[in-house]
Chains A and B, each alone.
Chain A
């Protein structure tokens, strides 16, 4: 990492010092990945989208005027890419992989991928895991906003820019999301 400020790094990258872009990637990769993962719930898809977001951001970096924070701008690109991905996925039907077993009956062909279950793989605390389960099951509009506000600790103003909704809408969603989460955790006896 260099000692340059974020704004200085961006200026240098725009001037052609592409290698410095690695500093920005390093700074935001985990936060961005987490946010994307919460939307798409697939490790490989989340990785691919995160890569695409960084590449798309580099392409458009010349147009970045610094009116919003770089992170806000990056997350708004990610939000759009996730929506596009989910729309595309909805349109694509999946065909289960089956095979005919020796007894002539059709059986599922199960390929275990621990990465698909990454949340259970990395969260070994029971309470955290259950809380995470409840968060993930929440409606997308509340889940997304709670991740931005209560996990990534973003300011309300930034969330307004990322999601492209009004401040009052952001506040309402956050309140309702928190209330819903509280009820769900209480129902499981976690709080």
Chain B
């Protein structure tokens, strides 16, 4: 034997070389029974860990089902991160916008009985809502929620912005029992369907104006 015994690190490296199928042969090992024995001990030692592979997921079907169910929930996010689908989404959104917005522009603004603008355009008629003075907040809430704008209307024409510049002014006015001739029209409706000239705005079809008379009791 020409060399001193191998260190544990060298034996460990040798074990890896053998396992990885490397051609590397340590000359010392062929001569030294002691180092060869150490290599075998290490090999047995690592081999004894093979039992760990018996630890497995018991119900793989359930596991798979849970994973895929969680994945489906995340699917939209994944699709979004994919540029192809992102572009497709924009294209689809543009088409949807044309389909949804165009009829809205050319139609009336119906109001459901629960106070929300409805989708059914045939419901639209001049709307009158009478409220108690105690319910002013509810009316203001409804108007704000539906993007209404305070204007003065005469013969189905918006002739001017109201002197009440915002809903707080309106609320104060209503609660003060001063004004009962205010008109409200949908802001979005006006901005899309009306034709404006100075302070006047003509709304085609008089029934598109929603009138509220706020009755002070």
Q: B40-99: which have CB < 8 Å to A? A: 41-42, 44-46, 48-58, 60, 63-64, 66-68, 70-72, 74-75, 77-79, 81-82, 84-85
For the complex formed, measure the closest distance between the CB of A151 and the CB atoms of chain B, giving whole angstroms: 5
- Which of A26, A58, A131, A171 contacts B71 (CB under 8 A)? A58
Q: Given the complex, which residues of A lie within 8 Å of B45, measured CB to CB?
A: 131, 178, 181-182, 185, 191
B48:A190 contact, CB within 8 angstroms? yes
Give how many B residues have a beta carbon under 8 Å from the other chain's beta carbons: 40
B51:A118 contact, CB within 8 angstroms? no
A128:B67 contact, CB within 8 angstroms? no
Chain A interface extent, by class: 35 or more
Q: A4-19: which have CB < 8 Å to B? A: 14-16, 18-19
Q: In the complex, how many residue pairs between chain A and chain B have their CB atoms under 8 Å apart?
A: 134
B42:A182 contact, CB within 8 angstroms? yes
B51:A62 contact, CB within 8 angstroms? no
A119:B55 contact, CB within 8 angstroms? yes
Q: Given the complex, which residues of B lie within 8 Å of A77, measured CB to CB?
A: none
A131:B78 contact, CB within 8 angstroms? no
The answer to whether B8 has its CB under 8 Å from any CB of chain A is yes
A122:B54 contact, CB within 8 angstroms? yes
A123:B74 contact, CB within 8 angstroms? no
**Contact flag A54-B82 (CB < 8 Å), given A30-B56, A30-B57, A178-B45:** no
Q: Given the complex, which residues of A lie within 8 Å of B19, measured CB to CB?
A: 153
The answer to whether A74 has its CB under 8 Å from any CB of chain B is no
A132:B49 contact, CB within 8 angstroms? yes
**Contact flag A191-B48 (CB < 8 Å), given A15-B82, A62-B81:** yes
- Which of B20, B41, B48, B53 contacts A127 (CB under 8 A)? B48
Q: Given the complex, which residues of A lie within 8 Å of B74, measured CB to CB?
A: 55, 58-59
Not counting A58-B78, A123-B52, A181-B46, a sample of 4 additional A-B residue pairs whose C-beta atoms are within 8 angstroms of each other reads A18-B75, A123-B51, A147-B52, A153-B19
* Chain B positions near chain A (C-beta within 8 angstroms): 8-9, 12, 16, 19-20, 41-42, 44-46, 48-58, 60, 63-64, 66-68, 70-72, 74-75, 77-79, 81-82, 84-85
Closest 9 A/B residue pairs (Cβ) = A128-B51, A131-B48, A62-B81, A55-B70, A122-B54, A123-B51, A54-B67, A150-B46, A175-B9
